Structure 1
Amino acid sequence: MDTADEKNDDFPEAGSRDVRTLRELFRLQLRTALAMEYDSLAGLAELRAAGTPHDTTDLLGHHANETREQIENLNRIFAAIGEEPLPEPSAASAGIRRQGRDLVEDCAQEMRERAVLAAALGSESYEIGCYQGLITLAEELDAGDAAELLQLNLAQEVHTGEALRRRLQVVG
């Protein structure tokens, strides 16, 4: 599922929602995280298709599998709170995906692997921040099971970010 929309004006305007409770904020952020992971999955497929060496495509493929697990964890949280797992389009994650694609397209073949790794690393940084915020909200809501699943996702993101950084150093 690809939730990224190529037009920024297709996203709901800031201030068009009336979020009044911590639970509503958590639900909105959870839906945004789901869209973020779908955007990430699509972006990883694009980056893997960029023609990079086997080690990098393997790393991106491994992360795509982890991303599917993260989507499943988010779906489990939705089920636990009695909500439909409906992605909320994310202008940020769609923009990060576009930026990564543009970066790779702008690079000569000899710079392509570095560009792919840098683009993937930028996406990981955003995802880490998203999960840190969600964990804080889950803890405030005393939603321990949700916080644990979000911690698992965060740990995977941090680990992948480090793996991408190490690979970028080796390539450089």
Structure 2
Amino acid sequence: MVQLSERPGTKKITNLQDKFLYELGGIFDAENRFLEAQQLMWQYSQHPELKSLIEAHIRETEQQIRNIEQVFSTLKQQPQRVTCDAAAGLVSDGQKLVLLSSDNPKIVDLVLAGEQAKVEQLEIITYRGLIKGAEQLGQNEIVQLLQQNLQQEEQTAQKIEQLKPRLLEEARSTGGKSGANRSR
């Protein structure tokens, strides 16, 4: 069990707004982590379509961070990152997979797409929860900002899912086969 002493600056959650602010701080941390990771992904990617998708999503992520900052401002709060362990874990796992597959650029691209898909799902479920929370708090302006972020995440997830089969086929056709890869 995590101890609150492991989270300096974290206060007890006693109402819906506290819960909302904690979760908002978590996605704020996640988006910042994912922005840094996407910048690295862009450097590692060799596939033009994937590289273009990552580049476009970097710009979207920058806007999403500004939207979150606007949500904090609307609530008269300073933007504050709350460590998102899920985001940190996804970034760490992705980095390990890239390093382990670095000898085959086609596999690296497949790894990057797979990790991006995982990130999108975390973001989608988080934004859906935040939207519900903002609705409960009667914060329509905040709902709109969060819905913009959600729509971008859903569109990116869809584009990644459409690209993944092509990346898999390219990885297979260029010697990316091994006993473990054939079943995927």
Whether these two folds match at TM > 0.5 is yes
Distance 1:66 1:12 in 2: 32
Matched, 1:106 2:100: yes
Once the two structures are superposed, residues 9-56 of structure 1 have per-residue CA deviations (whole angstroms, 9 ceiling, x without a partner) of 9x935xx74101000011111111110100110110121121422221
Superposed, 1:22-61 pairs within 5 Å as 22-61=16-55
Which residue identity is paired with 1:50?
Answer: Y
Aligned residue in 2 for 1:95: 89
Once the two structures are superposed, residues 138-165 of structure 1 have per-residue CA deviations (whole angstroms, 9 ceiling, x without a partner) of 0110111101110110000000000111
- Do the aligned partners of 2:29 and 2:83 also contact (CA within 8 Å) in 1? yes
| Percent of pairs with identical residues | 23
Distance 1:12 1:25 in 2: 18
Aligned residue in 1 for 2:112: 116
| Structure 2, unaligned runs of 5 or more | 169-184
RMSD in angstroms over aligned alpha carbons? 2.0
In the alignment, which of 13, 17, 20 is matched to residue 19 of structure 1? 13
Matched, 1:76 2:73: no
Matched, 1:160 2:135: no
Structure 1 stretches of 4+ with a deviation exceeding 3 A read none
Which residue identity is paired with 1:142?
Answer: G
Q: Which has the larger radius of gyration?
A: 2
Distance 1:19 1:31 in 2: 13
Aligned residue in 2 for 1:5: none
Aligned residue in 1 for 2:135: 139
Question: Residue 84 of structure 1 aligns to a residue in which SS?
Answer: coil
Which residue identity is paired with 2:27?
Answer: A
| Structure 1, unaligned runs of 5 or more | 1-7
